[in-house]
Amino acid sequence: MAGKALTALITVVIGIGAALLLFYVLNKIAELLPARWEERIKPLLYILPAFLAIVVYLVYPTVLTFINSFKDRSSTEWVGLQNFEDLLTDPGFQDTILNTLLWMIVVPAACVILGLAVATLADRLGPRGEKTSKTIIFLPMAISMVGAATIWRFVYYAAPAGQNQIGLLNAGLGVFGIDPVAWLQQSQWHLNSFLLMVVLLWSQVGFSMVLLSAAVKGVPGDTLEAARIDGASERQIFFQVVVPQIKGTIITVYITVLIGVMKVFDIVYVMTNGNFNTNVLGNEFWNQLSTNFNNGAAAAIVVILMIAVIPIMVYQVRHFKAEEANA
């Protein structure tokens, strides 16, 4: 055991040392070139290792995944659009898509609203109260989804009726003499999916709060004062002065959470493994890969995810260009 830890430390040292050596050598190679070429080649050598990593782990796999999505389960024969057809005509997968859409609709919006509420309200507390409450709301961000799922599975836990309820939610019901509910199996109205979303919200609201809080504090004081002098109520000030000025941050937070939600996996995997109609794309990908050994279907699911991400990507690039133009 200690050997492994030592190996890790040695790897860190060797890894950093190797990177240093690599850049030293690359730099030397550039310096050997005639001055005119040195200036041209050097930056390319500086970005080379980083781009190598990106090409190997993102660009090349993306291309291959597109290709695999048109091939059979072991990626040997071409099957055209068969994978997509099989998936999209399967009622189970249709439910999976619907569930994922539900997550995408509910979680980012709820995250922004709750985060903005905490950011705005905590701003009115004294410095100590503000810091404490923000740290508490922020803390779950450090907790892994597996950890969060374990914590919340315990909250939702249902012992058979008649036994002592050790899950917080059912114990609460018990106080009012209500029979225990197997929460994670309640698929009516997607109740269980919503309960899973609570876990993600719990871990992500802090992120939304921190960014929005910085934005709220950045709203120039004189615009608020002017509104107050004009006799605006706190509510009017919030919706008509503050919100328009932090719109950019709201969109940023919304998109960031949205991208995360599209890929959600751990929570569903640990809490229900997609049973009781709670399946989402991320978990289905893992099922196809590890249980069905169907590379074609797994690749097709990733392609569906990629297509869903494209509008966000276009927005990002445009947004970035606009920002750079302003800078």
Partner 1 sequence: MTFPATTVIDDTPKVAERKAPDRGEGNPAKAGWGTRIFLILLCVAWMVPIFGTLVTSFRSYDDANKTGWWTVFTNPSTLGDLSFDNYTRAIEDSNMGNAFINSLAITLPATFIPILIAAFAAYAFTFMEFWGRDFLFLAIVSLLVVPNYVAFVPMLKIYANLEMNGTFPAVWLAHIGFGMSLAIYILRNYMATLPKTVIESAKIDGASHFQTFFRLILPMSVPALASFAIFQFLWVWNDLLVALVFIGPGQNEPVTVALAGLRTSVGQGWELTTAGGFIVIILPVVVFLAMQRFFVRGMTAGAVKG
CB of 213 to partner 1, least distance (A): 9
Distance of alpha carbon 154 from alpha carbon 133, whole angstroms:
24
CB of 153 to partner 1, least distance (A): 8
Q: Under a CB-based contact definition with an 8 Å cutoff, are residues 276 and 187 in contact?
A: yes
Other beta carbons within 10 angstroms of residue 110's beta carbon come to 19
Other beta carbons within 10 angstroms of residue 294's beta carbon come to 19
For partner 1, give the closer residue by CB, 49 or 92: 49
DSSP 277-305: TT--HHHHHHIIIIIS--HHHHHHHHHHH
CA distances from 5 to 12, 17, 69, 144, 235 (A): 11, 18, 40, 21, 55
CB of 243 to partner 1, least distance (A): 13
CB of 201 to partner 1, least distance (A): 10
CB of 42 to partner 1, least distance (A): 6
For partner 1, give the closer residue by CB, 36 or 91: 36
Residue of 197, 196, 246 lying closest to 220 (CA atoms):
246
Q: At 224, phi and psi to the nearest 5?
A: -65, -45
Distance of alpha carbon 176 from alpha carbon 173, whole angstroms:
5
CB of 191 to partner 1, least distance (A): 18
For partner 1, give the closer residue by CB, 116 or 298: 298
CB of 4 to partner 1, least distance (A): 5
For partner 1, give the closer residue by CB, 116 or 145: 145
CB of 234 to partner 1, least distance (A): 6
Token pair, residue 265, equals: 């996996």
Distance of alpha carbon 166 from alpha carbon 262, whole angstroms:
33
Q: Under a CB-based contact definition with an 8 Å cutoff, are residues 69 and 302 in contact?
A: yes
Other beta carbons within 10 angstroms of residue 186's beta carbon come to 17
Helix axes 145-156 and 168-175, enclosed angle (nearest 10): 20
For partner 1, give the closer residue by CB, 190 or 271: 271
DSSP 8-state code for residue 124: T
Contacts of 19 (CB under 8 A, 6+ apart): 49
CB of 179 to partner 1, least distance (A): 16
Residue of 288, 279, 286 lying closest to 86 (CA atoms):
288
